[in-house]
């Protein structure tokens, strides 16, 4: 008789080709069987009838602010938020204080995950104009998901904005580079047009469509010249999505949950709590983002979880801190989009499982397949619940989605066969590990 560590019984298992009623078994941290397992035994059996069993969902774009300001976020609180929200892994950005730009800081960041992280974590390394010579080595360090380039100014002091240095970055290594794509020259040229205290909706006028499209066109021209694969983060405009469709041999792209959910009315309703880079835009761009989700142009969806203190968010624009929380709310909101008929559960699993794993080369992640890590997100598509700030565990304590009523909710987060969240309760002790990627060293 087969014996496993955990069996999820009778759930609607979300596979790439559709949804099947099946059992799923995990042994020694890996998926060991999928199918009719009525004769098998396990140390733990969980009844999943009426629930949907998805591959462990990944948020490939978070800022855990660690090292940084523990009053805003830490690895411990951010990853706890992740598992409460149904995520099994997150990929953490390098614009911390200090920034992750060399081997010593990367080693310290990796070591700081042990016994603290609730979910698995991949690590970005930041490119600067002064570390270009080391990037080819840094991208192959253990647990590095990608080199991150800020081609337009955002939070932190990492930036490579000029063509000469961008091309040098692209020629230093061969893995896919992740880009914040806005044109810094246009940003700075337009800045004098605006004055302190102007309405927050001017944020999308300052960082306008042309600013985003210019940045992406420049990056694609350089990527074509150097033949270096690119991943354009948080694509926010219809124009960019159309333009990038001509570069599918070279470029992948991400769209944020915010750009699938919010339009410019958020500035009038939320004020500084709607300010992010690139900005929330009007409904035309939201509709274009959904069209790109439907036709396959979007490779993955992330939250760009970027917490700030309330004080920093409530400063008059344009001194309002740019960035919104999202790691705890992305799964409920994406499930709500499924319930509204905007995408299917298999497409959600593709955008937040298979897609991130493919783009970044995460090994044994993102699919329900025998031999893969036993990472599972179990959801109840009939559960209706309102997002409340009292639920948010990030120390900053706020969410731009407070009051949003979701149909569909994460019920269990399972990492390597261990149930780490069940019905809003975080279980056990933090046991997250660094994610392993193809073409990197093994830690």
> At CA 268, angle to CA 264 and CA 274, rounded to 5?
65
Are 342 and 351 in contact by the 8 Å Cβ rule? The answer is: no
For the stretch 240-243, contacts whose Cβ atoms lie closer than 8 Å and that sit 24 or more positions apart, written own/partner, are 240/181, 240/212, 240/213, 240/216, 241/288, 241/289, 241/291, 241/292, 241/297, 241/298, 242/288, 243/213, 243/216, 243/217
Q: Report residue 283 as tokens.
A: 């409904």
DSSP calls for 394-420: STT---TTTT-EEEEEEEEEEETTEEE
Residue spans of alpha helices (H) in 314-424: 330-339, 345-349, 355-360
Pick the catalytic residue from 23, 59, 102, 304: 304
Helix axes 209-226, 163-170, angle to 10 degrees: 50
Q: Report residue 393 as tokens.
A: 């565990």
Active site residue 304: yes
* Neighbour count for residue 421 (Cβ, 10 Å): 27
Are 4 and 32 in contact by the 8 Å Cβ rule? The answer is: yes
> At CA 76, angle to CA 348 and CA 259, rounded to 5?
35
Look up residue 274 and give its DSSP letter: G
Kind and range of the H or E run holding 121: strand 120-126
Residues classed as catalytic:
304
């Amino acid at each position: 008789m087969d014996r496993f560590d955990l069996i999820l019984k009778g759930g609607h298992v979300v596979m790439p080709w559709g949804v099947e009623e099946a059992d799923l078994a995990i042994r020694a941290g890996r998926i060991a069987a999928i199918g009719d397992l009525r004769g098998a035994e396990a140390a733990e059996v969980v009844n999943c009838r009426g629930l949907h069993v998805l591959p462990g969902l990944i948020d490939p774009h978070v800022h855990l602010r660690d090292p940084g300001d523990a009053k805003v976020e830490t690895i411990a609180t951010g990853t706890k938020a992740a598992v409460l929200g149904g995520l099994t892994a997150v990929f953490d950005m390098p614009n911390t204080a200090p920034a992750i730009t060399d081997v010593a800081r990367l080693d310290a960041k990796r070591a700081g995950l042990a016994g603290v992280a609730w979910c698995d974590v991949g690590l970005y390394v930041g490119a600067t104009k002064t570390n270009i010579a080391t990037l080819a080595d840094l991208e192959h360090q253990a647990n590095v998901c990608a080199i991150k380039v800020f081609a337009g100014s955002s939070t932190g002091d990492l930036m490579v904005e000029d063509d000469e240095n961008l091309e040098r970055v692209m020629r230093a290594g061969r893995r896919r580079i992740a880009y914040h794509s806005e044109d810094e020259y246009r940003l700075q040229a337009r800045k004098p047009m605006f004055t302190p205290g102007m309405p927050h909706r001017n944020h999308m006028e300052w960082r306008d469509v042309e600013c985003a499209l210019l940045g992406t066109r420049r990056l694609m021209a350089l990527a074509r010249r150097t033949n270096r694969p690119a991943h354009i983060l948080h694509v926010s405009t219809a124009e960019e999505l159309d333009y990038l469709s001509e570069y599918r041999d070279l470029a992948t792209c991400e769209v944020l949950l915010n750009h699938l959910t919010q339009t410019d009315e958020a500035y009038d309703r939320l004020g500084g709590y709607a300010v992010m880079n690139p900005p929330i835009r009007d409904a035309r761009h939201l509709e274009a983002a959904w069209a790109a989700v439907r036709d396959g142009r979007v490779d993955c969806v992330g939250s760009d979880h970027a917490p700030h203190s309330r004080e920093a968010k409530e400063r008059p624009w344009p001194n309002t801190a740019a960035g919104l929380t999202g790691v705890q709310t992305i799964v409920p909101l994406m499930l709500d989009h499924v319930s509204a008929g905007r995408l299917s559960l298999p497409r959600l699993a593709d955008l937040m499982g298979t897609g991130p794993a493919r783009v970044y080369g995460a090994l044994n992640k993102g699919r329900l397949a025998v031999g893969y890590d036993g990472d599972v997100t179990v959801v109840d598509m009939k559960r209706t619940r309102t997002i409340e700030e009292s639920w948010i565990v990030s120390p900053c304590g706020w969410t731009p989605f407070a009051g949003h009523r979701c149909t569909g909710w994460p019920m269990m987060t399972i990492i390597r066969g261990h149930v780490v969240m069940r019905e809003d309760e975080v279980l056990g002790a933090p046991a997250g590990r660094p994610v392993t990627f193809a073409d990197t060293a093994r830690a």
